[in-house]
A and B are shown apart, each in its own frame.
Chain A
């Protein structure tokens, strides 16, 4: 992974000093609440329901074991001994003191970490596929370009105060795993006819209050122009995006209002001036950053391992875990492993300091000391030998980190919700926990098969509910908490936004509602169909009929 040089280190060190000074000025009353707000937000510090929340950047999800141990120590010293991995592959601390944040940043800087631009109206953390560099279907490892873009976006002077937040995702696989279509800019890397790395650029996607999937603004962009083309897009947005209404301020609203053709025309006109300017990426720079992401020193291993095969046969629990949590790898004899942060009955994405230390140890012992955070809020060991999988499983299981539910209904993607977040209309964690307990029977869970369930506590959609096969959105009705259900959303190349099935439900009803959706699926599915396939084939109506029929019966 990327290692800081003197310039990188100096920038985070100077940031610590700058933010320490800003905090001191705020505490001394020299900065008003309103003036401090954009400053602390651009440093990931929210003022929450109970305490501030600090969002620490994990650039494109990459972490070293040393960094994870530092996060564990910070969570222990400055928080309540746990952290929460978010859908932007970042780590959130829910209980730090505002006064302690400069110290936390100073500690993070010692392990090449920071909280720069993890919130606020600026370019946010760039996200990508958690299997970047190891996925068999990968065409291009996008991490070097992601790092180049991270540096370009860090304290970008022209785009420091945009109309609204700005999210970029990069991907280099045939099967998109970075939801590029749900981002302000999505960069899809591919090899063109000449065998050169090129980018398909998507623009104007986003979830939130007005969910819209992105549109291709440019089919073919040579990689050298990635930064200047983004400069052109964001300049048009910075100058012409709405600033009078926060709900209408995302780039997707501008793109819709202008139409993609007019928007593209303006971007291309801007780019004509910026193309080939000094921010054009050179071969040398790509090579310099790329060397940090070179292939790991893999051993030459056979494609099969006898001890692994034997363990699968003799140990059904291990076999179940392998089925759900172990993923293919481009190197023979290796696998990627998902460490589930979704044990049933616990807040999705939460991880204790002790668990972080366990995962760091696993990374050191079995995966070259590196790991990744996924946008599905789990951790990944990307390079584990087949022969080590059993040992990894045993150690992970002992720490409660081996729930065999990845990609299943209980691998719920969920924002912190009303328990923590002051924006939320409703709680989300208790809903997730109740649903997990409803489907706690592992055989049943595996029989239901692949299903993505996403929960957001408000329309800001941090839980990405629009693209959940089942999406749950917390809404406020006359001061009480209700839940609106959508089905048919999906991430990936064939992304779609879910359809609302009808009037919302109370919290108590939610496990039953999900149960009834599953009943329709079980009854209607063909042998090869996943939940999402059945929804797409038969439509929303049968699901709606069954859910509300039983609701009426129960009300009589």
Chain B
């Protein structure tokens, strides 16, 4: 059974996630964000060799940003046909992604991969995609996605969630409704409580 929640319902996942092959080398670790501050933040990125060796199958494919960038021209037609989704990792600077794409809305799907539950960068990335960069299509959270993040993800602009394989998506649906009247304005409801309701 599918573990994908989209717009408050469980649906089949039409997308194939493209994963660069492991070449048995030491993973290159890359700095977080746009500011080069520290040598190590423990976050893996793909090597040029891994990217070159990546096979992209037919059909709807979810492609890591760096893999898409290396195959930009080859994938252009498929992007136009709505067959390419862009996969961003939380340590990739969203402004770099936006700078590299002509039109983010050309992608039918943008997914943000969160390696660990505690990595809250995903919320800022979702917010920026929706509010600053005007992304209108499906925005999906994948990776260590558990039901207790869902309410925050929804409020940060996500509308689909691939629940971690060992968890029950049906039960997770409940958590989208944890709170009925949030205080602050965010992406889903941009007015704070005091502007929505006569308090």
Tell whether A14 pairs with B180 under 8 Å between CB atoms, given A161-B118, A240-B37, A279-B192: yes
Closest 9 CB pairs of A and B: A161-B120, A157-B155, A157-B152, A151-B183, A278-B185, A285-B194, A240-B33, A244-B41, A158-B123
Give Cα distance in the complex from A12 to B155, angstroms: 18
- Chain A hits for B153, CB < 8 A: 157
Decide: A151 and B193 in contact? CB cutoff 8 A: yes
Task: Check A154/B183 contact, CB under 8 A, given A161-B120, A239-B121, A242-B32.
Answer: yes
Interface residues on A, range: 35 or more
A238 is contacted by which of B124, B154, B174 (Cβ under 8 Å)?
A: B124
* Across-interface contacts of B35 in A (CB, < 8 A): 240, 258, 266
Decide: A157 near B192, CB < 8 A? Known: A18-B178, A39-B148, A244-B41: no
> For chain A residues 227-281, which have a beta carbon within 8 Å of chain B?
227, 235, 238-240, 242-244, 254, 257-258, 266, 273, 277-279
Mark the stretch among A3-11, A88-96, A489-497 that contacts chain B.
A3-11
- Contact indicator A156/B184 (Cβ below 8 Å): yes
B182-195 contact mask (Cβ, 8 Å, vs A): 1 or 0: 11111100111111
By the criterion CB–CB under 8 Å, are A157 and B186 in contact? Answer: yes
Decide if A238 touches B197 in the complex (CB within 8 Å).
no
**B180 adjacent to A152 (CB under 8 Å):** no
Interface size on B, residues (CB 8 A): 50
**Majority-rule SS of A interface residues:** helix
Contact B37–A258 (Cβ < 8 Å): yes
Instruction: Decide yes or no: A155 and B33 within 8 Å by CB, A22-B148, A239-B124, A244-B41 being known contacts.
Output: no
CB of A38 within 8 Å of the partner chain = yes
Query: Could you jot down 14 A-B contacts, CB within 8 Å?
Result: A7-B193, A10-B181, A15-B179, A18-B179, A35-B146, A152-B184, A155-B182, A157-B156, A158-B124, A161-B120, A240-B37, A242-B37, A244-B38, A278-B192
The reply to whether A7 and B184 form a contact with Cβ atoms under 8 Å apart is: no
B-contact 0/1 string along A152-166, CB 8 Å cutoff: 101111111111000
Which residues of B sit under 8 angstroms from A155, Cβ to Cβ?
151-152, 179, 182-183
**Cβ B38 vs Cβ A288 within 8 A:** no
B183 near A11: Cβ-Cβ < 8 Å: yes
Partner of B191, one of A38, A156, A158, A278: A278
Q: Which positions 140-157 of chain A face chain B at CB distance < 8 Å?
A: 151-152, 154-157
Nearest chain B CB to A29 CB, angstrom units: 12
Q: Taking the complex as formed, is B117 at the interface, i.e. its CB lies under 8 A from any CB of chain A?
A: yes
A444-B185 Cα distance, complex, nearest whole Å: 56
Q: How far is the CA of A290 from the CA of B17 in the complex (A)?
A: 52
Check if A159 sits within 8 Å of B123, measured CB to CB. Answer: yes
Q: Mark A308-328, 1 if CB is under 8 A from B, else 0.
A: 000000000000000000000
Hey, which chain A residues are within 8 Å of B187, CB to CB? 157
User: For the complex, is B59 an interface residue (Cβ under 8 Å from A)?
Assistant: no
Rounded to whole angstroms, the CA-CA distance of A163 and B91 in the bound complex is: 13
A158→B186 contact, CB < 8 A: yes
Whether B32 lies near A243 (C-beta < 8 A) is yes
Alpha-carbon separation in the docked complex, A121 to B123 (Å): 14
Inter-chain contacts of A10 with B (CB < 8 A): 180-181
A422 within 8 A of B: no
Say yes or no: is B42 at the interface (Cβ < 8 Å to chain A).
Answer: yes
Whether A162 lies near B120 (C-beta < 8 A) is: yes
Alpha-carbon separation in the docked complex, A116 to B100 (Å): 41
Residues of A within 8 Å of B151, CB to CB, are 155, 157
Q: How far is the CA of A22 from the CA of B183 in the complex (A)?
A: 22
Q: Is the CB of A238 within 8 A of B132?
A: no
Within 8 Å CB of A266, what residues of B? 35
Contact with A5, one of B154, B185, B199 (Cβ below 8 angstroms)? B199
Q: Does B127 contact A (CB under 8 A)?
A: yes
> When the two chains form their complex, are residues B190 and A243 in contact, meaning their CB atoms are under 8 A apart?
no
CB proximity of B168 to chain A, nearest CB, Å: 9
Which residue on A lies nearest to B93, using beta carbons? A239
CB distance from B4 to the nearest CB of A (A): 20
A22 to B175, CA, bound (A): 10
Chain B 95-120 interface mask (CB, 8 Å, partner A; 1/0): 00000000000000000000001111
Whole-angstrom distance between the Cβ of A191 and the nearest chain B Cβ: 24
With A11-B181, A22-B148, A157-B155 as given contacts, are A238 and B121 in contact (CB-CB < 8 Å)? yes
